[in-house]
Amino acid sequence: MPEETKTERVVGIDLGTTNSLVAYMEGSEPVVIPGVDGSNLVPSIIALDVLDPSDPGAKPTVTIGNSARRALIETPDRAIYSVKRLMGRGVEDVQDELKLFPFHLAPDIQPGEVIRVQLGDKTFTPSEISAYILRQLKRNAERYFGAPVNKAVITVPAYFNDAQRQATRDAGRMSGLDVLRLVNEPTAAALAYGLDRAKEGIIAVYDLGGGTFDISILKLNDGIFEVIATNGDTHLGGDDIDNLLLAVAIDEIHNEYKIDLRQQPDAIQALRKAVIEAKIALSSQDSAKLDIELPAKDGVTQRYQREIPRAVYEQLIAPVIQRTAGPTKQALADAGITADNIAQIEEVVLVGGSTRIPAVRALVDQLFGLSARGKKPHTELNPDEVVALGAAVQANILAGASAATEDLLLLDVTPLSLGIEALGGVVAKIIQRNSTIPASATEHFTTGVEGQTNVAIHVVQGERELASDCRSLARFDLKGIPPMPAGLPRIEVKFLIDANGILQVSAREQRSGKEAQIEVKPTYGLTDEQVETMILESFDHAEADFEARQIIEAKLEADTILAALEKAKTGPAWSLISDSEKVQIETARANLAATKATGDLAAIRTATTTLDHTTRNLAEKQMDAAVSSAMRGKTMEAAGESLANENIQAPHPFAKPEFEDDDDKDK
Amino acid sequence: MSTTLTTSAPATCWACSTALGESPLLCVACGKVQPTTSLDYFHAFALARKLQIDLPGLEREFHRLSRRLHPDRFARATPQEQEWSLAATALLNDAYRTLRDPIARVEYLLKLEGLEIGEEHAGVNKRADRQPPADLLEEVFELNMQLEEMRMTQKMGESDPSLQRDLKSARTKFETLLSEVDNDLATQGRAWDEGDAATRPAAAKAMAALLDRRRYLRNLVRDVNQVLGA
């Protein structure tokens, strides 16, 4: 082995629905690598920048993370969030999502084709969008280390199926990362918790994130983390709570003010921001207020004001939260744990931002009988960061780099049974769910007609009896079978689920000893060739000269912030800040402008960071202005029609409006 | 006796040429993973083909081998070794999953011995549902009638407490029969373990018949549970 491979850093990445993070092992401790703005979380939002119409040669650039947040409100047709919910799915799967998310799919997607999202006049597959997020994390890590980072461990929900896993791995490849392993999120969290304690016994990890829910039951034994059962729902999370609150608010506004916000994506995004803030507040307060200026109607502006008491909120979200109970009970049953011996579960670890909700904690307490046993769930590690920290631990295990992890080993399972479609459309299960991976199964096939040279195999994932009720995974076409009488060929097909939870298939005709050719048609997935073409362009070139690329990027970043500042000076927020602040900003601006020309990487970065910090207050003010302006419907033309024509029924109204004077509002 | 699975494996380590002996997945001398084309599950754990297994010992060995064979340990190895690691670990996992389960263990052993048994999952070349065991014909017939009646009742949205009681007592009866089968299987298993080439075929045949009976009974209990649970 060449020496550099030994010291090469492998990072751990949590590619989340709401936020993404990159972490690595610093000595014996995993740490999150902050972005250029100092924040550990990179919001999983990407936006296609508006091109300068005067520059015909301009190439579209993509903004990622916090800086793309503004685009959600200002240019909703060019921005996307929660793309994880679209990974590895077909058009027919995402219809429900589309009702409540401002996603626009490309109009020309054929059934069975990988979906593409329309951003401006371009379309992107969910893997490509995720690749942009991954590339940002890669860059954050490179900036932090001052060295290239090419290898990563990426986490996925434990309940992700084969297509969703493949889409994630494809995204890694597109971003220029060699994905050494896909690790299940709850398992990663267990690793992060288990690192500093020599625990033995059975634990449960309850992971409710922005868009996915996982429950895993693990047995810890002398550094071995053995998953015994896992279950979940890849479309259940904080997003569903947001959408519910949003639907109620939209409905109420429609009923009481006769204003239909569904036609106004920018207003929807602003309202979404407000309900999310209310949701977060309700995790620590007994009530929260929604107070939003509505778009003007007949020349009159009104405010939508609602008090949401915690009790009403909890009643509203109870059905969403309750959906985690079924998978939890199933996982416990699969692990051989009944209500009577729930005490076998010694610890429960809470992961994911949505586990901050008190009602979620109450449900967990009840499901595992925690307080009855004088126990509390583990929440010591930041639920937003714990998965990335665990990914860093796994990255360190794979790198074989340190004594801290040399005795640790993850033994994970496949969350869904693998089956093949047999006669009559029934599923013959060949690998049961909760089998430790890698797992394999060998099946024999033959022909039904004399001289038949092809055999088709339909592989599905799921627990249902009928193939049509399971997730179609791929169709394998075994070709080149030597012509023989019917029933004589004996084709041995080996199915192997690898350590990433991804299926590999190989086949051999045993009578002739001939290696059969297999043509795979993934039901929802990209071919290798397609992935190749989607490898993010900038990578091909810039990788060659890392230093040069870093300087170019630093200059671009400086340009971006300088341009944003110039624009801000003409906006309403500029008048809201003090004169002394303006002087500070001007000093930082001049400094950056001067430093930029030097080509000194460190100096440019320092100056950029300084200007960024100095203008933070201004940016906040600007954001507020953008929100309220959006609510008045004064920003860019509403371009989408998400939520349009959707008859959203509010399951429960909020409390009646309060029209008391608000003296703390209206800056 | 003919076997459906071969048990051939290389005799020496590819890397250091040490004889592999009892530990075919891993070289005891240099620790290298070995190619594992067609080891049987007992061989993978260096166990004799016996049905009584020390489960805690099996788990310890599973963990010990996992630590050495798992693909996580080969992330920086050659592609060839990575492939062997993947295959060896898959085999180890499949073997552990099969051997730790008493029923799967018997099924697997009988398959190794060339006995044809109806497999739970063999849907592709699935054989038609078996005839009920001769001594149970009458009970099974009656149970099926009751199940059908119960389904009809439920479809009408009605309830029939006496029918429900009958089904519950039938379930208890079949569950008792099931545990008898399990006892008989254990007995035959011991006979196999302690037997020799002369007595083993009879034990194997008896176990194959018991497995068929067990599968049939289990499906009946499952059907009753489905109807009662609905």
CB contact A502 to B (< 8 Å): no
Q: Write the pLDDT tens digit of every residue in A312-341.
A: 999 999 999 999 999 999 999 999 998 888
Neighbours of A464 (CB within 10 A): 14
Q: Is B129 inside a domain boundary?
A: no
Subunit contact B72:A443, Cβ cutoff 8 A = no
Classified as helix, coil or strand, A335 is coil
- Separation of alpha carbons A115 and A127, rounded Å: 10
Q: Which of B42, B46, B37 is nearest to B83 (CA)?
A: B37
Classified as helix, coil or strand, B166 is helix
Question: Are the C-beta atoms of A124 and A106 separated by less than 8 Å?
Answer: no
Q: Which residues of B touch A443 (CB under 8 A)?
A: 124
Q: Which of A256, A187, A261 is nearest to A224 (CA)?
A: A187
A207 is catalytic: yes
What average pLDDT does range A33-46 have in this prediction? 88
Q: Write the pLDDT tens digit of every residue in A146-199.
A: 889 999 999 999 889 888 999 999 999 999 899 999 999 999 999 988 765 567
Do B76 and B1 lie in a common domain? Answer: yes
Instruction: Say how many residues make up chain A.
Output: 667
Beta bridge partners of residue A479, listed in sequence order: A517
Element (H, E) at A306: strand A303-309
Give span(s): CATH 3.90.640.10, chain A.
238-320
Q: Write the pLDDT tens digit of every residue in B152-162.
A: 888 888 777 88
Residues of chain A with pLDDT > 70: what percent? 86
pLDDT band at B121 (very low <50, low <70, confident <90, very high): very low
Subunit contact A427:B90, Cβ cutoff 8 A = no
CB contact B128 to A (< 8 Å): no
Burial class of residue A174 in the structure, from the number of CB atoms within 10 Å of its CB (0-12 exposed, 13-18 middle, 19+ buried):
buried
Q: Is B88 inside a domain boundary?
A: yes
Neighbours of A367 (CB within 10 A): 20
Q: In CATH, what class is A238-320?
A: alpha beta
Do B32 and B103 lie in a common domain? Answer: yes
Residues of chain B with pLDDT > 70: what percent? 86
Active-site residue (options: A74, A142, A207, A384)? A207
Nearest chain A residue to B87, by CA: A438
pLDDT at A198: 62
What average pLDDT does range A488-495 have in this prediction? 84
Do B99 and B147 lie in a common domain? Answer: no
Task: Name every residue whose Cβ is closer than 8 Å to that of residue B15 and which is 6 or more positions away in sequence.
Answer: B27, B30, B32
Given the candidates 3.40.50.2000, 1.20.1270.10, 3.40.720.10, 3.30.1360.40, the CATH classification of the domain at A544-628 is 1.20.1270.10
Tokens 């429609």 found at = A254
pLDDT band at B6 (very low <50, low <70, confident <90, very high): very low
CB contact B97 to A (< 8 Å): yes
* SS3 assignment for B105-160: HHHHHHHHCCCCCCCCCCCCCCCCCCCCCHHHHHHHHHHHHHHHHHHHHHHCCCCC
Report the interhelical angle of A66-74 vs A616-631 (nearest 10°): 20
> What are the angstrom distances between the C-alpha of A360 and each of A82, A314, A565, B101?
21, 10, 42, 36
**Partner residue opposite A438 with nearest CB, options B63, B67, B86:** B86
Do B8 and B111 lie in a common domain? Answer: yes
CB contact A300 to B (< 8 Å): no
pLDDT at A631: 52
In chain A, the N- to C-terminal Cα span, in Å, equals 63
Question: Are the C-beta atoms of B114 and B96 separated by less than 8 Å?
Answer: no
The pair of three-digit structure tokens given for residue B37, joined into one six-digit string: 């084309």
Give B183→chain A minimum CA distance, Å: 22
Give the mutation candidate from A406, A411, A417, A476 for the B interface (greatest B CB count, under 10 A): A411
pLDDT at A52: 64
pLDDT at B126: 43
Task: Name every residue whose Cβ is closer than 8 Å to that of residue A350 and which is 6 or more positions away in sequence.
Answer: A206, A207, A361, A364, A377, A378, A379, A383
Q: Which amino acid is at A338?
A: T
Q: Is B126 inside a domain boundary?
A: no
Do B138 and B220 lie in a common domain? Answer: yes
Subunit contact A427:B71, Cβ cutoff 8 A = no
CATH of domain A418-525: 2.60.34.10
Tokens 């998400």 found at = A642
Q: Write the pLDDT tens digit of every residue in A257-313.
A: 888 887 777 788 888 889 999 999 999 999 898 888 888 878 888 888 888 999 999
Give B86→chain A minimum CA distance, Å: 7
Q: How many domains does chain B have?
A: 2
The pair of three-digit structure tokens given for residue B176, joined into one six-digit string: 């008792």
Task: Name every residue whose Cβ is closer than 8 Å to that of residue A29 and which is 6 or more positions away in sequence.
Answer: none
Give span(s): CATH 3.30.420.40, chain A.
10-195+383-402
CB contact B126 to A (< 8 Å): yes
Would you say domain A10-195+383-402 falls under CATH 1.10.3720.10?
no
Q: Write the pLDDT tens digit of every residue in A526-568.
A: 777 776 776 665 444 444 456 666 777 788 788 888 888 888 8
Classified as helix, coil or strand, A304 is strand
Give span(s): CATH 1.20.1270.10, chain A.
544-628
pLDDT band at B128 (very low <50, low <70, confident <90, very high): very low
Subunit contact B126:A428, Cβ cutoff 8 A = yes
Subunit contact B94:A437, Cβ cutoff 8 A = no
Tokens 């903004």 found at = A63
* Domain end residue (candidates: B54, B88, B117): B117
Do B138 and B96 lie in a common domain? Answer: no
CB contact B67 to A (< 8 Å): yes
Do B155 and B102 lie in a common domain? Answer: no
Question: Are the C-beta atoms of A431 and A441 separated by less than 8 Å?
Answer: yes
Nearest chain A residue to B73, by CA: A398
ipTM above 0.85, yes or no: no
**Partner residue opposite A422 with nearest CB, options B76, B90, B123:** B123
Report the interhelical angle of A265-281 vs A238-257 (nearest 10°): 120
CB contact A505 to B (< 8 Å): no
- Separation of alpha carbons A423 and B124, rounded Å: 7
Look over chain A and give the mean of its residue pLDDT values, rounded to a whole number: 82
Q: Write the pLDDT tens digit of every residue in A65-103.
A: 888 888 887 888 888 888 998 998 888 888 877 776 777
Q: Write the pLDDT tens digit of every residue in B199-225.
A: 888 888 889 888 888 888 888 888 888
A448 vs B55, more confident: B55
Residue A431 has pLDDT above 70, yes or no: yes
Give B61→chain A minimum CA distance, Å: 13
Q: Is A112 left (phi over 0), alpha (psi -120 to 50) or beta?
A: left
Nearest chain B residue to A401, by CA: B76
Subunit contact A224:B66, Cβ cutoff 8 A = yes
A469 is catalytic: no
Neighbours of A245 (CB within 10 A): 25
A573 vs B45, more confident: B45
pLDDT at A489: 82
- Separation of alpha carbons A554 and A604, rounded Å: 7
A121 vs A321, more confident: A321
A-B CB pairs within 8 A amount to 81
Subunit contact B90:A435, Cβ cutoff 8 A = no
Subunit contact A498:B67, Cβ cutoff 8 A = no
- Separation of alpha carbons B228 and B222, rounded Å: 10
Q: Which residues of A touch B96 (CB under 8 A)?
A: 436
- Strand A439-445 to A491-497 pairing: antiparallel
Nearest chain A residue to B123, by CA: A428
Q: Which residues of B touch A402 (CB under 8 A)?
A: none
Q: Is B127 inside a domain boundary?
A: no
Report the interhelical angle of A325-334 vs A358-368 (nearest 10°): 30
- Separation of alpha carbons A554 and A270, rounded Å: 31
CATH of the domain at B105: 1.10.287.110
Q: Is B216 inside a domain boundary?
A: yes
Q: Write the pLDDT tens digit of every residue in B63-113.
A: 999 998 999 988 888 898 899 999 999 999 999 999 999 989 999 998 888
Nearest chain B residue to A494, by CA: B87
Question: Are the C-beta atoms of A250 and A261 separated by less than 8 Å?
Answer: yes
The pair of three-digit structure tokens given for residue A177, joined into one six-digit string: 């990362």
Active-site residue (options: A49, A74, A77, A84)? A84
Element (H, E) at A461: strand A455-461
Instruction: Count CA within 13 A, CB hemisphere, residue B43.
Output: 19
What average pLDDT does range A344-354 have in this prediction? 91
CB contact A426 to B (< 8 Å): yes
Q: Which residues of A touch B86 (CB under 8 A)?
A: 438, 496, 498-499
Neighbours of A566 (CB within 10 A): 10
Report the interhelical angle of B200-229 vs B137-155 (nearest 10°): 20
A84 is catalytic: yes
> In terms of residue numbers, what domain contains B96?
1-117
Q: Which of A379, A372, A377 is nearest to A342 (CA)?
A: A372
pLDDT at A629: 58
* Domain end residue (candidates: B82, B117, B152): B117
> What are the angstrom distances between the C-alpha of A272 and each of A279, A285, B95?
10, 19, 51
Q: Which of A18, A178, A154, A1 is nearest to A83 (CA)?
A: A18
Q: Which residues of A touch B68 (CB under 8 A)?
A: none
CB contact B101 to A (< 8 Å): no
Subunit contact B71:A409, Cβ cutoff 8 A = no
**Partner residue opposite A429 with nearest CB, options B73, B76, B121:** B121
Active-site residue (options: A185, A242, A266, A557)? A185
Burial class of residue B180 in the structure, from the number of CB atoms within 10 Å of its CB (0-12 exposed, 13-18 middle, 19+ buried):
middle
A664 is catalytic: no
Q: Which residues of A touch B125 (CB under 8 A)?
A: 444, 446
Q: Is the peptide bond before A309 cis (omega within 30 degrees of 0)?
A: no
Q: Which residues of A touch B124 (CB under 8 A)?
A: 420, 422, 428, 443-445
Q: Which of A20, A164, A186 is nearest to A501 (CA)?
A: A164
- Separation of alpha carbons A12 and A25, rounded Å: 9
Q: Which amino acid is at A45?
A: I
What average pLDDT does range A635-662 have in this prediction? 37
Give the mutation candidate from A8, A9, A224, A421 for the B interface (greatest B CB count, under 10 A): A224
- Separation of alpha carbons B118 and B114, rounded Å: 13
